[in-house]
Amino acid sequence: AEARQVHGPEGDDCWQEARCHRRRSHYRNRRDVNAERRSLYRQEVAEKQADNAPDTLTVPIPLKPVAYLYLYRQKRQDAPLHAISISVWQGDQRLSEVTPIHCAGLRNQQIQAYLMEVLGKLRQQYGIIKFEPEVRLDPAECPIANCPLKHRPVEVASE
């Protein structure tokens, strides 16, 4: 109504009913119309690709369980070991997880003895004789709930 008033006989008299209303409607709704058209096109393309997709053949491979050793330490070479975590996987399924431990105060010999003890238990239960190549993670990702790196001191309100 406002456009007809401005561009109609009372305004600059350029309004043509056959064209102007249609154009204004198009410009007003083109974003939604174009989005709908793109959506339909994407659906058609996805259906064509699904129809043209080759048949997939899955051959099961007997996978042995493997043990992953996660070392939580900083990147620098001489950084101390913060924590150790071990998990056992078979394919994409986690079979078990050894409780993670902090290494603060432990010497290298004690850590090695602990790892050998864990390997002994894993050998008995799963037949695992060695760890996969170690996975190094940042100490901020430590899985232990009471980790000193996660501990935030509580401020005591003074009266």
Q: 19-28, 85-94, 148-157 — which is least confidently predicted? A: 148-157
CA distance 15 to 4: 7
Structure tokens at 26: 């198009």
Residue whose C-alpha is closest to residue 97's, from 87, 106, 107: 87
CA distances from 75 to 31, 57, 86, 136 (A): 50, 42, 20, 8
CA distance 119 to 116: 5
Structure tokens at 125: 């239960």
Domain range annotation of the chain = 2-52, 66-141
pLDDT band at 18 (very low <50, low <70, confident <90, very high): confident
Give the pLDDT confidence of 82-130 residue by residue, as tens digits.
999 999 999 889 999 999 999 988 999 999 999 999 999 999 999 999 9
